[in-house]
Amino acid sequence: MSIAQTAAAIAVMAVVTFLTRALPFFLFDRGGKPPRVVLYLGKYLPAGVIAMLIVYCLKGVGFESPGQWLPSLLACGAVVGLHLWKRNNMLSIMGGTIFYMVLVQVVF
């Protein structure tokens, strides 16, 4: 991408991100109460969206040979295991990523 295209994409991300954060203030700051359905979605949507994004991250995984899917599976297991064990974001993310890099670069 050209510099202008990159800058445009970053600008779009910045504006949309700001809007998602500011919208509640624009809509409900004058004392209006958010509708119950908004609160309901706000409570249950985030978990579903994160699940969607995990599928998005793994969309490139192939199934023709074990080398295409086994590293992802093992590394995902490592992240979840590390996190259940130590509950340390930094350790889980860095540990899992380094493990994955070793798997795809050296093992498979």
The footprint of another protein (CB under 8 A) covers 1, 5-6, 8-14, 16-18, 20-25, 28-29, 34, 37-60, 71-72, 75-76, 79-80, 83-84, 89-90, 92-94, 96-97, 100-101, 103-105
Q: Which is nearer to another protein, 13 or 68 (CB)?
A: 13
User: What's the min distance (Å) between Cβ of 78 and another protein?
Assistant: 9
User: What's the min distance (Å) between Cβ of 100 and another protein?
Assistant: 4
Angle at which helices 89-102 and 66-86 cross, to 10°: 160
User: What's the min distance (Å) between Cβ of 75 and another protein?
Assistant: 6
Q: Which is nearer to another protein, 54 or 68 (CB)?
A: 54
Which candidate, 60, 94, 64, places its Cα nearest to that of 102? 94
User: What's the min distance (Å) between Cβ of 12 and another protein?
Assistant: 5
